[in-house]
Amino acid sequence: MKRRTTFLCLIATLAMIALLPLGAVQADGHCEFANYTITIGGLAPLSAPGAVAGGVAMDWAFNQAADDINADCGVQIDGVNYQIDVVTGDSEGSPERGQAVTERLIQEDEVDAMVGVYHSAVGLATMGMLEANAIPTVFSEPWNDNVSANGIREFDGAPPRFEDGIDHIFRISPASSMVGSVIVDWLLSLGVDDVVLIVENTDYGQPAAADEAARFEAGGATVSKIDVELGTEDFVPILSRIQARAEAPDVIRILVTGETSFNLTQQMAELGIAPSDDTICVTNQFAFQSDQYWATVPDGNFCAFNRVGIIPSLFSDAAVELNAKYEEAWGDIIPSFAMASYDAVHIVADAMERAGSYSDAAAIVAAIEATDIDLSQGRYYFEYGAHNPELPEGTPAFMWHQWPDPIVTVMQYYEPGQSGLDAAVIYPEVYQTHGTAYIAPGTSP
Amino acid sequence: MVIHDTVFVIWLLAAGPLWAAIGLFLLPSVNQGRAESEQISITTLQIAGVIGGFALGPVGVGLFYFEPALIRRTTLTAGVAITVFVSSQVLARIVDPNLPSGLWLLLAGPLWAAVAAFILPRQYRAVEANDQNVLTAAALGGFAIGPIIIGLMWKHTPKISRDWMIVLGSLGAWQIYTLFAIHNTTNPCVASPYHITYLTQQTANGVVIGAIYSLMAVGLTLIYSVQGIVSFAHGQLYMVGGYFSFYFLLHGSNILSDITGAEISINPIWGIPVAAIIVFVMGAVFERIFLKPMHEGLIERVSEYAILITFGFGFFIEYTTLAIAGPFPQRTDRFIEIRRFTLQRAQITDDFAFGPINIIGDRAFAMVVGIILIFALLYFLQRTWTGRALRATSQDRQAAAVTGINPTNMNTLSFGMGSMLAAMSGAALIPIFAWVPWVGAEMVGRSYVIVVLGGLGSVPGALLGGVIVGIVEALGAGCHPDPSRGAAYKEAFALVIFALVLLLKPTGLFGREQT
């Protein structure tokens, strides 16, 4: 009898523990939460052919942001604390898959807002659905100019700014044109006049190359463009073609992402094409992840690369703390798109608090437009939107709902195995860390 | 590091005359043990040995030694190719680039191809001659030499053999190359002052990477030849082989460093046997558990089962690796500390220079490893009892069983060895490419092309198919008139050759007819 009573007590205790999360009010340390959890959808490439390394870092950042927000008592609306949960969907880097996952997040998971997106093609493909379903969205990595330009352009035949005049898409990553202008200005300032662009065949690579080519040509340089497919491993035939030119190019600019860019950069260095005395190597922002870079591009010393996001020497306390957490999890420096993804979740949570609602899309969008918050990448705000709809003459359309201040710099390694945190910032001049705009191979700053 | 040109020249000499001499003396022994009717004349063998050895070194000698059937056709193809190239060079220099293309259209080209394709099959049927392959031959011949071939075939209605197809196909290629040489004056393959060097460079690039492709394809063809199934896990076995090598080198170096107290780095060459052993066991166990029931008649829809179960195996390996190793790219140290071999530029005559030619050091090393492994496999298959048992099982399972061979064990052995070859290929390439859990996807697609091109089930076919695919991709990317598109279409060039071979010889270059 006694044994049976003990058994029943044990069962009852276990049942109470199991049912505890279903209670009307949950207790989590010092915070009390409402029984509704705000669901934010995250979209990131978590499997091939997408950029999985990027997607995994973004997924980590979403969840880290949710953890940090929840640890700070979640989103406070009308005096009630709501926990946040980020549900990440795997876009696989494919527009079709991205649409299917977005549909699932909207219809089945009933997300209150969306963040993320790595590949521009996925961003462009899902924008129409997000608009049609009135989901406030903060994109953290797609670069295609048309992502944020949608606010004042027609997309898929839909009228601009649906019904009540709001546009739900925001972007805190830079537009390709913003990155391209910095790279081109830097190279033209070095006097280059013969440029080879090696470009991935994607919605990121092609428009970015077209923009940079136009800028180079406007600056008097000649441009040769070579298209490659993502996933290609062997670039030696096409690099041999560059090597066979009568004159070596002044610069080879790589507009290719992921491990494909690592293979390309390494083979270029192995063949002695660039970096060399004749040719500057400009690889992509992935090079900032120095552990990955040196593991796969051991001959890549003296390559320059574009860096999006705040430079290491200007890291705020929040950025340092976030970087430490990332290094603990992954053993490498935090990439800018992980910082942006982390910040995107915070921007949404902050807007919901100010809007006083997690479900009123119009109020949340208006709150995001009025954002003024310091996060890991700096101060976020949106200059143009429904709150300030007139874009002055000459302002590009992509500035609509676009964070205007993503810092774009050019960095360069000058020692093998160097940490990305120690690489030299060489452009723009205002951020230069070593007083030079280029470190020639074989020299030190 | 740049190797002094004399060192590289010595290497070249070793691949040239030395191997020509080896071929000269070795190949006549091919006739030993062959029926008189199958014997090849000593002179032919000696010529093949010299040409094969001089041009391709151990690859040429080995191929002819193990597959004498290749000798005649390969020598014919090489002879035609050399003639085509030389005559194109001559024409490119004597023909005015401004010559209107209309002249070519009058003498040859697509119009004559259409005319030949329309009238010649009818003529063959009218005189009741064998019209097999006539349509293709007529189109190729009409394109290449216009009315000349139409007249010849109309009058003599010869039986169209494969040799005819080789000659006519080569003449078609000659036409294209010549037009290219005359009119595309900025193309580095035909027009730059150093285009011979450039073509040599691209061919060398293709041979090096092609030999590496072959090693992976050989495993696939071995499994197919014995079991009659295509392994859809091959790309993942290739990938996991690279990772086994990576982790062995990482942890092995750490352990040795801890023991000795000094920084020790294990050369990646040691990762190859480690990956081979582990993946051989993986493949053999998988075969025993999941494929054996298929051969015992326990599975109703064998073909579908084989596709699904190997696909599932590959899926399992890929995502397990992703969970364990993570998505971030990895790479091991180099095989050798020489970044590239460079044949320095040499001024041969006042107006002709050759070089420089660059080959990445680790690729050259991996190519040598790949070739050694393929010839070791050929030796195993041709000269050992177990290898012969594998071949016997691939030809006739029941007859093999009657002679005391256990087909079940041969199935396990073939899958284990096929998996092992994929893994060795991966372990040989992880010092060369950034390694991620989905790295096998591109490579395995190319392997399917190679094995079908070479002939499903043929090891020499896989070797030659790999080299052909490598060269075609390199020349395609390097010679495409629009440089911006050449690299993007790289894989497509191999598929064009693949389609042509299937059109002209559906069993592939060395495949046998299914009985």
CB contact under 8 A, B326 and A56: yes
Tell me which residue in B339, B473, B488 faces A228 most closely, judged by beta carbons: B488
pLDDT surpasses 60 at B318: yes
CATH number at residue A416: 3.40.50.2300
Q: Please check whether residues B475 and B371 belong to one and the same domain.
A: yes
CA angle B121, B125, B131 (to 5 degrees): 60
Task: Out of A345-349, B32-36, B375-379, pick the least confident.
Answer: B32-36
Closest Cα in chain B, distance from residue A129 (Å): 29
CB contact under 8 A, B360 and A236: yes
Is B439's Cβ below 8 Å from some Cβ in A?
A: yes
**Token pair of A265, please?**
């950069």
Q: Are B23 and B58 in contact (CB under 8 A)?
A: no
**Token pair of B98, please?**
């401004």
Mean pLDDT over residues B396-421, rounded?
A: 93
State the pLDDT at residue B52. 78
> Which pLDDT band, with edges at 50, 70 and 90, does A25 fall under?
very low
Q: Please check whether residues A130 and A257 belong to one and the same domain.
A: no
State the pLDDT at residue B10. 55
Task: Out of A55-69, B61-75, B137-151, pick the least confident.
Answer: B61-75
- For chain A, positions 346-375, list CB contacts with chain B under 8 A: none
Residue A3 in any domain: the answer is: no
In total, the C-beta contacts within 8 angstroms joining chain A to chain B are 133
**Token pair of A23, please?**
């209670």
Mean pLDDT over residues A183-210, rounded?
A: 93
pLDDT surpasses 90 at B286: yes
Mean pLDDT over residues A54-82, rounded?
A: 95
Backbone angles phi, psi at B41, to 5 degrees: -60, 145
Residue A417 in any domain: the answer is: yes
Q: Please check whether residues A28 and A170 belong to one and the same domain.
A: yes
Is B514's Cβ below 8 Å from some Cβ in A?
A: no
- Write down the mean pLDDT value for chain B: 84
Residue B429 in any domain: the answer is: yes
Residue A155 in any domain: the answer is: yes
Higher-confidence residue: A348 or B443?
Answer: A348
Closest residue, chain A, to B476 (C-alpha) = A237
Is A272's Cβ below 8 Å from some Cβ in B?
A: yes
CB contact under 8 A, B360 and A270: yes
Backbone angles phi, psi at A406, to 5 degrees: -65, 130
The alpha carbon of residue A148 and the mean position of all alpha carbons in its chain are separated, in whole angstroms, by: 14
CB contact under 8 A, B358 and A267: no
SS (HEC) of B269-282: HHHHHHHHHHHHHH
Is A275's Cβ below 8 Å from some Cβ in B?
A: no
Is A231's Cβ below 8 Å from some Cβ in B?
A: yes
- For chain A, positions 100-139, list CB contacts with chain B under 8 A: none
Is A400's Cβ below 8 Å from some Cβ in B?
A: no
pLDDT surpasses 70 at B471: yes
pLDDT surpasses 50 at B307: yes
Closest Cα in chain B, distance from residue A335 (Å): 13
Mean pLDDT over residues B260-284, rounded?
A: 95
Q: Rounded distance, CA B52 to CA B75, Å?
A: 9
Q: Rounded distance, CA B210 to CA B197, Å?
A: 19
DSSP B268: G
Cα–Cα distance list, A65 to A69, A130, A254, B282 (Å): 6, 22, 32, 41
pLDDT digits (tens, 9 = 90+) for B102-119: 566 667 777 888 888 889
pLDDT surpasses 70 at B9: no
Is A295's Cβ below 8 Å from some Cβ in B?
A: yes
CB contact under 8 A, B205 and A52: no
State the pLDDT at residue A164. 47
State the pLDDT at residue B5. 52
Q: Taking CB atoms and an 8 Å cutoff, what residues of chain B touch A255? A: none
Closest Cα in chain B, distance from residue A228 (Å): 4
CB contact under 8 A, B487 and A266: no
Strands (DSSP E) contained in B276-375 are 340-343, 346-349, 352-354, 357-360
Q: Please check whether residues B95 and B215 belong to one and the same domain.
A: no
Q: Please check whether residues B263 and B220 belong to one and the same domain.
A: yes
Q: Please check whether residues A286 and A377 belong to one and the same domain.
A: no
pLDDT digits (tens, 9 = 90+) for B66-103: 777 777 767 767 776 676 666 666 666 666 655 555 56
Higher-confidence residue: A225 or A14?
Answer: A225
State the pLDDT at residue A340. 95
SS (HEC) of A147-187: HHHHHHCCECCECCCECCCECCEEECCCCHHHHHHHHHHHH
pLDDT surpasses 90 at B64: no
Closest residue, chain A, to B339 (C-alpha) = A270
Q: Please check whether residues B175 and B275 belong to one and the same domain.
A: no
State the pLDDT at residue A47. 85
Residue B415 in any domain: the answer is: yes
Q: Rounded distance, CA B357 to CA B339, Å?
A: 14
Q: Which residues contact A170 (CB under 8 A, 6 or more apart)?
A: A136, A137, A138, A139, A148, A347, A368, A382, A401, A402, A403
Q: Please check whether residues B159 and B213 belong to one and the same domain.
A: no
Residue A377 in any domain: the answer is: yes
pLDDT digits (tens, 9 = 90+) for B167-185: 887 777 777 777 776 767 7
- Which DSSP string do the residues of A379-412 spell out, in sequence order? EE--SBBTTB--PPTT--GGGBTB-S---EEEEE
**Bridge pairing between strands A80-90 and A75-77:** antiparallel
pLDDT surpasses 70 at B11: no
Is B481's Cβ below 8 Å from some Cβ in A?
A: no
Closest Cα in chain B, distance from residue A246 (Å): 9
Using the structure block, give the residue that is written with the tokens 């008649």: B297
Mean pLDDT over residues A267-289, rounded?
A: 93
Is B447's Cβ below 8 Å from some Cβ in A?
A: no
State the pLDDT at residue A26. 47
Is B212's Cβ below 8 Å from some Cβ in A?
A: no
Q: Please check whether residues B200 and B101 belong to one and the same domain.
A: no
Residue B511 in any domain: the answer is: no
Closest residue, chain A, to B355 (C-alpha) = A244
Amino acid at A279: T
Q: Rounded distance, CA B236 to CA B442, Å?
A: 11
Q: Taking CB atoms and an 8 Å cutoff, what residues of chain A touch B472? A: none
Closest residue, chain B, to A289 (C-alpha) = B328
Q: Please check whether residues B245 and B180 belong to one and the same domain.
A: no
Mean pLDDT over residues B262-286, rounded?
A: 95
Is A225's Cβ below 8 Å from some Cβ in B?
A: yes
Closest residue, chain A, to B357 (C-alpha) = A240
| Closest to A102 in 3D by CA, of A140, A134, A129, A120 | A129
Closest Cα in chain A, distance from residue B192 (Å): 9
pLDDT surpasses 90 at B315: yes
- Which DSSP string do the residues of A52-75 spell out, in sequence order? HHHHHHHHHHHHHHHHHHHHTT-E
pLDDT surpasses 60 at B515: no
What SS3 class is residue B222? helix
What SS3 class is residue A113? strand
Residue B16 in any domain: the answer is: no
Closest Cα in chain A, distance from residue B477 (Å): 6
Residue B303 in any domain: the answer is: yes
Mean pLDDT over residues A26-54, rounded?
A: 84
State the pLDDT at residue A6. 60
Residue B364 in any domain: the answer is: yes
> Which pLDDT band, with edges at 50, 70 and 90, does A22 fall under?
very low
Residue A437 in any domain: the answer is: no
Q: Please check whether residues B229 and B170 belong to one and the same domain.
A: no
> Which pLDDT band, with edges at 50, 70 and 90, does A117 fall under?
very high
Q: Please check whether residues A230 and A187 belong to one and the same domain.
A: yes
pLDDT digits (tens, 9 = 90+) for A85-97: 999 999 998 999 9
Residue B35 in any domain: the answer is: no
Mean pLDDT over residues A258-267, rounded?
A: 92
| Closest to B233 in 3D by CA, of B318, B320, B316, B311 | B311
Q: Please check whether residues A18 and A166 belong to one and the same domain.
A: yes
Query: Environment class of residue B196 by beta-carbon count within 10 Å: exposed (0-12), middle (13-18) or buried (19+)?
Result: middle
**Domain end point (choices B119, B151, B184):** B184
Is B438's Cβ below 8 Å from some Cβ in A?
A: yes
Is B235's Cβ below 8 Å from some Cβ in A?
A: no
CA angle B463, B464, B470 (to 5 degrees): 95
Q: Please check whether residues A373 and A411 belong to one and the same domain.
A: no
Is B139's Cβ below 8 Å from some Cβ in A?
A: no
Backbone angles phi, psi at A190, to 5 degrees: -85, -5
> Which pLDDT band, with edges at 50, 70 and 90, does B434 fall under?
very high
Residue A330 in any domain: the answer is: yes
Helix B407-429 vs helix B271-286: angle between axes, to the nearest 10 degrees? 140
Mean pLDDT over residues A353-379, rounded?
A: 95
Q: Taking CB atoms and an 8 Å cutoff, what residues of chain A touch B439? A: 233
- For chain A, positions 133-192, list CB contacts with chain B under 8 A: none
- Write down the mean pLDDT value for chain A: 88
**Domain end point (choices B128, B150, B184):** B184
CATH number at residue B273: 1.10.3470
Q: Please check whether residues B240 and B315 belong to one and the same domain.
A: yes
Task: Out of A378-392, B12-26, B408-422, pick the least confident.
Answer: B12-26
What SS3 class is residue B331? coil
Tell me which residue in B360, B478, B490 faces A232 most closely, judged by beta carbons: B490
| Closest to A410 in 3D by CA, of A341, A290, A307 | A307
| Closest to B328 in 3D by CA, of B435, B423, B250 | B435
> Which pLDDT band, with edges at 50, 70 and 90, does A157 fall under?
very low
Q: Rounded distance, CA A143 to CA A157, Å?
A: 22
Q: Rounded distance, CA B25 to CA A81, Å?
A: 88
Closest Cα in chain B, distance from residue A230 (Å): 9
Is A271's Cβ below 8 Å from some Cβ in B?
A: yes
| Closest to B30 in 3D by CA, of B19, B42, B20 | B42
Q: Which residues contact A68 (CB under 8 A, 6 or more apart)?
A: none
Residue A427 in any domain: the answer is: yes
Q: Taking CB atoms and an 8 Å cutoff, what residues of chain B touch A231? A: 441-442
Closest residue, chain B, to A45 (C-alpha) = B327
Name the strands in the sheet holding A280-283, side by side, starting at the edge strand that comes first in the sequence.
A222-228, A194-200, A251-255, A280-283, A304-308, A408-412, A424-427
Closest residue, chain A, to B193 (C-alpha) = A246
Tell me which residue in B209, B334, B340 faces A234 most closely, judged by beta carbons: B209
Closest Cα in chain B, distance from residue A354 (Å): 38
Query: Environment class of residue B514 by beta-carbon count within 10 Å: exposed (0-12), middle (13-18) or buried (19+)?
Result: exposed
Length of chain B: 515
Is A229's Cβ below 8 Å from some Cβ in B?
A: yes
Higher-confidence residue: B482 or A342?
Answer: A342
State the pLDDT at residue B463. 87
Mean pLDDT over residues A273-289, rounded?
A: 93
How do the residues of chain B divide into helix, strand and coil, expressed in percent and rounded to 5? 75, 5, 25
Q: Rounded distance, CA A9 to CA B420, Å?
A: 57
What SS3 class is residue B499? helix
**Token pair of A232, please?**
């290609």
Q: Please check whether residues A23 and A156 belong to one and the same domain.
A: yes
Residue B261 in any domain: the answer is: yes
State the pLDDT at residue B402. 93
Higher-confidence residue: B409 or A29?
Answer: B409
Domain that holds residue A283: 176-312+407-431
**Token pair of B260, please?**
């000795």
Task: Out of A74-83, B104-113, B283-292, pick the least confident.
Answer: B104-113
Q: C-alpha dihedral over A95, A100, A105, A109, to 10 degrees? A: -170
State the pLDDT at residue A204. 85
Using the structure block, give the residue that is written with the tokens 């696909």: B311
Burial B215-250 (b: 16+ CB within 10 A, else e): bbbbbbbbbbbbbbbbbbbbbbbbbbbbbbbbbbbe
Query: Environment class of residue B36 by beta-carbon count within 10 Å: exposed (0-12), middle (13-18) or buried (19+)?
Result: exposed
CB contact under 8 A, B487 and A49: no
Query: Environment class of residue A269 by beta-carbon count within 10 Å: exposed (0-12), middle (13-18) or buried (19+)?
Result: buried
Number of domains in chain A: 2
Strands (DSSP E) contained in B131-173 are none
Q: Please check whether residues A171 and A181 belong to one and the same domain.
A: no
Closest residue, chain A, to B203 (C-alpha) = A237
Q: Please check whether residues A114 and A181 belong to one and the same domain.
A: no
Q: Please check whether residues A161 and A46 belong to one and the same domain.
A: yes
pLDDT surpasses 80 at B190: no
Alpha helices in B384-458 (DSSP H): 385-395, 397-402, 407-429, 440-454
Other C-beta atoms closer than 10 Å to the C-beta of B323 total 9
- For chain B, positions 356-375, list CB contacts with chain A under 8 A: 358, 360-361, 363
CB contact under 8 A, B198 and A240: yes
Q: Please check whether residues B296 and B346 belong to one and the same domain.
A: yes
> Which pLDDT band, with edges at 50, 70 and 90, does B303 fall under?
confident
Q: Please check whether residues A167 and A199 belong to one and the same domain.
A: no
Amino acid at A256: V
Q: Taking CB atoms and an 8 Å cutoff, what residues of chain A touch B209? A: 234, 236
State the pLDDT at residue A10. 61
Burial B380-392 (b: 16+ CB within 10 A, else e): ebeeeeebebbbb
State the pLDDT at residue A361. 94
> Which pLDDT band, with edges at 50, 70 and 90, does A18 fall under?
low
CB contact under 8 A, B434 and A227: no
CB contact under 8 A, A237 and B358: no
Q: Rounded distance, CA B73 to CA A249, Å?
A: 44
pLDDT surpasses 60 at A16: no
State the pLDDT at residue B139. 85
Number of domains in chain B: 2
Q: Please check whether residues B386 and B414 belong to one and the same domain.
A: yes
Residue A442 in any domain: the answer is: no
Domain that holds residue B153: 89-184
Is A23's Cβ below 8 Å from some Cβ in B?
A: no
Mean pLDDT over residues A275-302, rounded?
A: 93
Higher-confidence residue: B457 or A141?
Answer: A141
Is A255's Cβ below 8 Å from some Cβ in B?
A: no
Using the structure block, give the residue that is written with the tokens 């990482």: B250
Q: Please check whether residues B170 and B231 belong to one and the same domain.
A: no
**Domain end point (choices B132, B150, B184):** B184
Helix B42-56 vs helix B58-66: angle between axes, to the nearest 10 degrees? 150
Amino acid at B83: T
